[in-house]
Amino acid sequence: MLDKTKEDAAIDEAAIREEVRAIKDREGLSWQHIADESGVKHGTLTPFMGNTYRGDTGRVAADLQRWLETRREREHTAAVLPDVPSFIMTPTAQDVLSTLSFAQSAPDFGVIVGGAGIGKTTAIEHYARRNSNVWFLTADPSMEKAANVLSILAEELGVSERRNAFISRAISARVRGANGLVIVDEAQHLEAKAFDQLRTTVLDLGKCGIAVAGNESMLARLQGSADKRTQAFAQLHSRVGIRKMQHASKAADICLLLDAWGISDDDVKTLLKSIARKPGALRIMNKVIRLATMVSAAGSPSSISRKDVNTAWSQLSSVEI
C-alpha cells in the first residue's frame, strides 16, 4: 500500500510537471515568471521541474497544483466576463480631447476637473496613445511633494539627472522644442507647490503644454481658500489657460456606452442609467454590466435582465438602486 501511494504521488508530480511545462511553452513564460506567480522559489522550481530536487517534492507539487487550479479558475472567469467596450467618442471624451489638444498646441496650462468614473482617464489615455510627445503620469499620495513629482516626471522623460538643484532645468531642456504635452492624472494628490513647480518647469521654462486632471478637491487646491486666496495661489490660478469641469456623466455618454454594450431592453437600460448617475458613474455601470453577465444564464451583456442587474448591484453596494 505504501509503495502504491509513492507511485501515485510520483504520477501526480509528473502530470504537474507536464502541465506546467506545457503552459510555459504555450505562453512563452520564463521560469522566474512562474516562480513569482506560484510562490515557489526559482531555486526550488527549476530542480523540481528537472526531477532533481532533493527536498519535499510533495510540498512543491502541492504549491504548483494550487497555482494551476488558480489559473484554471481565472481563465474560466475571464471566458465568461465580457470586456469593457473600447474607447467611445462620447461628448465628455470630445471635451477632454479638445482641452488636451489646446494645452499642447498653445502651449498652455489645461485643467480637467470631473467626478469619478465619468471617463476622464479613458479619454486621456486615448489622447496619449494617438499623439506624439505626450508624457502621461498618474499621481498617487507619494507624489504630493514637488520634488517627488519632478523625480517621476524625469524618469518618464528619460532624464537621468536626479540632483534636486538641477532636475527641474534638465526636464525643461528635455521638453523644450518638442511641441509636447505633460499630463498628470489623479492630480488631486498633489499639493499646491507641486502644481506651481510643474507649471514653472514644464510651461514657463520648457515652453511645453501641461494638463492636470482630477476630482473637485484638485480645483480647491488650485484656487486656494475662497475667502483668503494667497498671492501664490492667485498666480497659479490665473495661469490656467483652459478649463474643463464636469461633475457627472452626460446622458448622451450613458446612452452611447449602453449601445456599445449592445443593451436594448428598455427596462434594463433605465435601471443602468440610474446606476450611472450614482458616484462612480460610467465606471460602476460597467462593473455592474460585467458582473450581471457573469451571474446571468444568458452569458451575454445584450441579454441581461433587470434581475441580473439587481443581483450584480447587490454584490457591489448595500444601497438600493
For residues 146-175, give the mean pLDDT: 96
pLDDT level of residue 8 (50, 70, 90 thresholds)? very low
Q: What percent of the chain has pLDDT over 70?
A: 92
Say whether pLDDT at 7 is over 70: no
Residue-level pLDDT at 236: 66
Unique residue bearing C-alpha cell 511553452: 25
- Count of positions (residues) in the chain: 321
Taking Cα atoms as reference points, which of 82, 79, 122, 138 lies closest to residue 249? 122
Q: Which residues, including other chains, have CB under 8 Å from residue 321's CB and lie 6 or more apart?
A: 271, 274, 275, 309, 310, 313
Taking Cα atoms as reference points, which of 120, 117, 93, 90 lies closest to residue 256? 90
Q: Which three cell numbers, joined as nine digits, stand for 138?
A: 498618474
Taking Cα atoms as reference points, which of 192, 188, 182 lies closest to residue 152? 182
For residues 40-69, give the mean pLDDT: 95
Residue-level pLDDT at 110: 96
Q: Which three cell numbers, joined as nine digits, stand for 95?
A: 471635451
The pTM is what? 0.79
pLDDT level of residue 234 (50, 70, 90 thresholds)? low
Q: How far apart are CA 181 and CA 212, in angstroms?
A: 11
Computed over every residue of the chain, the mean pLDDT equals 91
Q: Is 92 helix (H, G, I), strand (E, B) or coil?
A: helix
Residue-level pLDDT at 81: 77
Better pLDDT: 87 or 78: 87
